[in-house]
Chains A and B, each alone.
Chain A
Amino acid sequence: MPWDRNQMAARAAKELRDGMYVNLGIGIPTLVSNYIPDGITVTLQSENGMLGMGPFPFAGEEDADLINAGKQTITELPHTAYFDSAASFGMIRGGKIAMAILGAMEVSESGDLANWMIPGKLVKGMGGAMDLVAGVGRVVVVMDHANKHGESKVLKSCTLPLTGTGVVDLIITNMGVLEVVPGGLKLLELADGVTEGDLRAATEATLVN
């Protein structure tokens, strides 16, 4: 069986290292916070202006002044710090955030990322995604290997408008883990029950040894 959303999030959490400042995107990446390994402390950044993001509040304790970048009510922690949006993206662009874990629509074998726009469909905007991929030390993408039509999302080159070029370091899909290396993608790990043949058949991008 390929990995489900939670198994993908759990696998992404293994990329975390003690002491990291990390930004988690919306969707599956948000689930990563449920799987932070024992003995590892990471500080979550929310790009609307917060380091040290805590869990959702208990009912009745929601605070309209305390939300995450997905506009969800959250809580603070003892080490929380707040700052304005210019300072927030200063630390992102300035390379102070060690890792971003983001969702994607398409990733290419050279690490190009498309995750903000489908032409002809509803255009919502890139939010902070372009800044994150441009500035963060290591970009980990978590996504399904294929789209809902069964077409590979791991491509030779992206077809959708890009969020950044050559920015992705690691791709975690429901079928396995791929690293972006010179010349293509290197298979690091297969999901339980997925064969290398299955993954190769589902991947348009070049796989290298």
Chain B
Amino acid sequence: MKKIYGSAAEALDGVLFDGMLIAAGGFGLCGIPELLIDGIVAAGTKDLTVASNNAGVDDFGLGKLLATRQIKKMMSSYVGENAEFMRQYLSGELELEFNPQGTLAERMRAGGAGIPGFYTKTGVGTVIAEGKEVKTFDGQDYILERGIFADLAIVKAWKADATGNAVFRKTARNFNPPAAMCGRICIMEVEEIVPTGSLDPDTIHLPGIYVHRLIQGTHEKRIEQRTVRQRETA
């Protein structure tokens, strides 16, 4: 089966529909599916619900889909870096469902693993627990959280072979594997598609079974907080 597509537009063709739920990989601007976000901007799909740890910045990442008002609702743990997000949220134009970061990651992983719900102690006794079932195990309270089953996952890896076996680089892995797992269809963008057989099977981070469509492209990989230390002078 052919998984490699020529562009984000080609890979997204026939997959997008208004009102869909999209899970996106990335943490901050690190490891985000830049090319596929641009592709969805170009496609103009509306009323999206996007499960993503963050919401990009005003002019990059998911911020581009906020600027075009294509997102109806975000499921995130932290959205502090985006002024347009705040404007839309405070004016009631954008819905926001806060998820603790680990709960969001586990909701994606669980959905991908066929688990519709799980109990966690994260958020017990907080606003996050409101309206959720509480169950006591061995004297400790846990709340029920739901697995996420996304219509589409958009993720970014470093390298993949033609079958979608993927390798991530450093902390750019983050939400990409769990997001990929929870998509009924997963489209992955990579910096390099390598010949099948050239990746060590023991070092595959995400097996190709989770990846349905694959594109290669050039990434900006913007740095959000450039912090450095001074070299000690002799």
Residues of chain A touching chain B, judged by Cβ–Cβ distance below 8 Å, are 46-50, 55-59, 61-68, 70-74, 76, 82-86, 88-90, 92-93, 112, 122-131, 134-135, 161-166
Contacts and interface: CB of A to CB of B under 8 A. Distances in A.
Contacts of A59: 228, 230
A47 B170 contact: no
A84 B98 CA distance: 20
B67 to A, nearest CB: 19
Query: Which has the most chain B C-beta neighbours within 10 Å: A57, A86, A122, A129?
Result: A86
B97 to A, nearest CB: 11
Contacts, number: 182
Given A65-B170, A76-B170, A82-B170, A125 B30 contact: no
A53 to B, nearest CB: 9
A72 B81 CA distance: 13
Interface stretch (B6-14, B40-48, B105-113): B105-113
Interface string B23-37: 000011111000000
Contacts of A67: 27-28, 30, 171, 223-225
Contact of B120 (A56, A70, A93): A93
B16 interface: no
Nearest to A85: B105
A106 to B, nearest CB: 13
Contact of B174 (A56, A84, A135): A84
5 contacts: A67-B27, A125-B79, A126-B77, A127-B100, A134-B121
Interface centre among A66, A73, A128, A164 (most CB of B within 10 A): A128
Interface in B149-204: 158, 168-178
Contacts of A76: 170
A73 B171 contact: no
B124 interface: yes
B78 interface: yes
Contacts of A47: 101-102
B126 A163 contact: yes
B77 A125 contact: yes
Given A64-B222, A131-B101, A84 B77 contact: no
Given A76-B170, A125-B77, A71 B225 contact: yes
A65 B226 contact: no
Contacts of A165: 124-126
A71 B171 contact: no
A125 B171 contact: no
A161 B53 contact: no
B78 A64 contact: no
A55 B170 CA distance: 15
A66 B171 contact: yes
A161 B125 CA distance: 10
B134 interface: no
Interface in B121-160: 121-128, 158
Contacts of B116: none
Given A125-B77, A128-B101, 17 more contacts: A48-B30, A59-B228, A67-B28, A67-B171, A82-B168, A84-B173, A85-B101, A85-B105, A86-B178, A122-B80, A123-B98, A124-B78, A125-B80, A128-B102, A130-B123, A135-B122, A165-B126
B83 to A, nearest CB: 10
